[in-house]
Structure 1
Amino acid sequence: MASHEKTVGCNNIIPNFFDKVDWNNKDVYHGFVTNVYDPSKFWMRFAEVGRLQDMLREFYQVKKNSFALTPDVIHVNMYCAALDQDGFHRAKVVRVDLREPTNFIVFYIDHGIIKRLHFNKLYGLHEQFGAIPALAVRCVLANVAPVDNENWSSEAVRRFSSITGGEKQLGVRISNMTPERKVLEVYLVDPSVERGGRTPTVNHHLISQNLAKNIWHLSNQPPAGRVYTPLMKYMYLYPIHEAIENGTAPSTWQLTENLKECVAWDVLFPELFKYTPPK
């Protein structure tokens, strides 16, 4: 790669948008849901990304050959520019695809999306793009839990994705935050939806549709007779954002459910489940 000295170095860390904002639970923010795992694990963007996408496109359309990478120089935690059908995106390499070592699992740091790409779609990230904070912010829908206490249903995931998707700008109120993990617990409001002079939250909508319940209605008693005993109190919070981002957990809720159909749960998530032989 001819322009190695102009790329984000292996010891550089791109700043995080979460750290650049003085989050306040008295303020209303506006943002876009960019990726959904389930209502307890999703990512939002609170800053405009259009100009950044234009800059990436304009730069790499001219100079991408100078920043082309080969598999031997691509490594985990490396920042890069990734090309897909939507254009160029800033990404972080999180894993080598063991089935095909010329493919890599990358995390789009401005969108919260995991992708599997061939090495010829990855380019060294020029240093001018390293000073811009990673825009994807980890979020949790505040004070709601699955109806069964443990697993979000396919309909709940589908409904949440449907009402928050499509580049729809949402009002965001902060309920709580976890600075060490850079996670926001949020109430979401679609300003275009008004009922009786009030704008209901997405949180309340899921509850009203019997797709979620208030978190304070959680039961501490797991269902009787099950062979996989949860090791965590609030199973619906797992896998956590970090596990999805670094490729150690399935990248989508659907993939998780499919894998649980054919892989023992305690093998798939050894830190979450314990197998108890039926009596």
Structure 2
Amino acid sequence: KYGSRDKYQILTCFDKCNFKQGQSFEARVTQIYDPTKFWIVSKFRELEVFQKYLFRFYYLNSSNYKIPHDKIAIDLYCMCFIENAYYRGVIVGFPIRHHDAEQEVQVFLIDYGMLKIIDINNIYYISEECLRVPQFVVRASLAGIRPLNDHWTTQDVDRFYDLVTDKIIKVNVIDIDCKRKILKVFINIKDDNSMISVQETLLTENYAAYIRDKEKTVKTIQTLGFKSPYLLQGGVALINSLNRTKFSLLLKHIVKSEKEELFTQEELVKLSESLKLDETNLQLLIQSIAYIFKQSSKVILKPTVLQEQLVEHLKFNPEKAEDFVKLWTEETNQVFDLKNSHNLENISWELNIQTASTLCNKEQHLNTRLQMGLVSVDGKEKENVILELDEEELLHLYNVLENVQSKLDNI
């Protein structure tokens, strides 16, 4: 009979769909263990049709596929009848039974990610045709978040359940664990006319925290002024999925554009067709590129440092990071003439106290004189810049430098 896993393997959804980093698609969540362990189905409409076929076929032919009790074994593919429907599964174990209990088996439903305990009288062989249909479900994990404490609480899981259950979700693949066949994803859900990030909701409502090994990434993002790290990660995943030439052209258009609206509606339609992105992901892509460039232009960084941060912490593809920094350098040079820039070689200071004047012979005035020795980048020119600061101006300078140091410490 059909169904033995050592003779036949039903192709997994992970292998069939060949998911890519940066890919986006609609899906439904079918089973939740916690926010970092759940199962999703991308072809949920096809699954509904398939389930109707299973019911009709086994309603008429189930007696021909009955499995003898002595043939039931672990790793056997089977068809299960539960809750007035038929489901494909694989037998994974036998629960501990009392003497008066019916004989049961533990079955993992391969199209839903669920583990069920089923009476052996409701177990059937899978038909040859159904063995050829790939599994529908794939395991997923919310990228970049962890429990607030050591484990997910019931409240954490319930909140995640409320956010995604019975809804069509928008999935962005951030990373892929090929060994364990798990998609690390960013999820959006539609609320009225806007899209809500599931990660951001869990973080904001204190149901989750950033993963510790991501803290430097988050600090880097915050240093550049980004408010939504995981929304940005979704945008970066889309950037990485682009052809390099198309990314370079899109980047130049966004940066060089002087219009408030970066693209006309007609241009957006053409761009959507060219990049094969829906409206939501196209907007996320455009806004991410514009936002990263804008925020990067607000900080003073060496090009090599910016490129390292884009690759190591924002997970840019190296080629995309190179193109980004090249254009960033060109644009920055137009604002700051780097050829005429200077390095600080030395600094000296003196404190002057004026104890009397013609107006008041007892009044004291503190005055600080700073002399900064500057040398040109090529080392050929030197000059001194002198600043005279009163107490209030000196305090302001001190606070500015403290703020700069704080930013540097966070990088």
TM (normalized to structure 2)?
0.49
Secondary structure of the residue aligned to 1:137 is strand
More helix by share: 2
Which structure: larger Rg?
A: 2
Q: In structure 2, what is the equivalent of residue 138 of structure 1? A: 139
**What is the distance in 1 between the residues matched to 2:110 and 2:210?**
31
What are the residue-to-residue correspondences of 1:22-33 with 2, within 5 Å? 22-33=18-29
**What is the distance in 2 between the residues matched to 1:61 and 1:101?**
23
> Is contact 1:81–1:125 with CA below 8 Å preserved after alignment?
yes
What are the residue-to-residue correspondences of 1:1-279 with 2, within 5 Å? 4=1, 7-10=2-5, 11-47=7-43, 48-99=46-97, 102-148=103-149, 150-166=150-166, 168-192=167-191, 199-216=195-212
Per-residue deviation, 1:181? 1.0
Aligned-pair identity in percent equals: 26
The code of the aligned residue for 2:58 comes to Y
Secondary structure of the residue aligned to 1:129 is helix
The code of the aligned residue for 1:15 comes to L
**What is the distance in 2 between the residues matched to 1:103 and 1:140?**
31
Can you list the C-alpha shifts for 1:80-118, whole angstroms capped at 9, x where unaligned?
Answer: 110111400001000012315720000000000000000
Unpaired runs of at least 5, structure 1? 220-279
The code of the aligned residue for 2:3 comes to V
Secondary structure of the residue aligned to 1:77 is coil
**What is the distance in 2 between the residues matched to 1:74 and 1:217?**
45
> Is contact 1:26–1:173 with CA below 8 Å preserved after alignment?
yes
Secondary structure of the residue aligned to 1:111 is coil
> Is contact 1:194–1:200 with CA below 8 Å preserved after alignment?
no
Per-residue deviation, 1:71? 2.0
Task: Extract structure 1 runs of 4+ deviating beyond 6 A.
Answer: none
**What is the distance in 1 between the residues matched to 2:147 and 2:102?**
38
> Is contact 2:22–2:174 with CA below 8 Å preserved after alignment?
no
**What is the distance in 1 between the residues matched to 2:37 and 2:192?**
24
The code of the aligned residue for 2:113 comes to G
Per-residue deviation, 1:20? 1.6
Per-residue deviation, 1:21? 1.9
The code of the aligned residue for 2:204 comes to S
**What is the distance in 1 between the residues matched to 2:164 and 2:196?**
13
**What is the distance in 1 between the residues matched to 2:209 and 2:89?**
35
> Is contact 1:15–1:133 with CA below 8 Å preserved after alignment?
yes
> Is contact 1:193–1:200 with CA below 8 Å preserved after alignment?
no
Q: 1:218 to 1:23 in 2, by over 3 A?
A: closer
**What is the distance in 1 between the residues matched to 2:187 and 2:207?**
16
Per-residue deviation, 1:194? 5.2
**What is the distance in 1 between the residues matched to 2:56 and 2:107?**
22
The code of the aligned residue for 1:77 comes to D
**What is the distance in 2 between the residues matched to 1:18 and 1:91?**
17
> Is contact 1:137–1:183 with CA below 8 Å preserved after alignment?
yes
**What is the distance in 1 between the residues matched to 2:61 and 2:142?**
41
Unpaired runs of at least 5, structure 2? 216-411
Give RMSD over aligned pairs. Answer: 1.8
**What is the distance in 1 between the residues matched to 2:4 and 2:153?**
42
Q: Larger relative contact order (C-alpha < 8 A, sep ≥ 6)?
A: 1
Can you list the C-alpha shifts for 1:248-277, whole angstroms capped at 9, x where unaligned?
Answer: xxxxxxxxxxxxxxxxxxxxxxxxxxxxxx
**What is the distance in 2 between the residues matched to 1:193 and 1:51?**
28
TM (normalized to structure 1)?
0.71
Secondary structure of the residue aligned to 1:200 is strand
**What is the distance in 1 between the residues matched to 2:207 and 2:84?**
32
Q: In structure 2, what is the equivalent of residue 270 of structure 1? A: none
**What is the distance in 2 between the residues matched to 1:39 and 1:21?**
23
Aligned residue pairs, count: 209
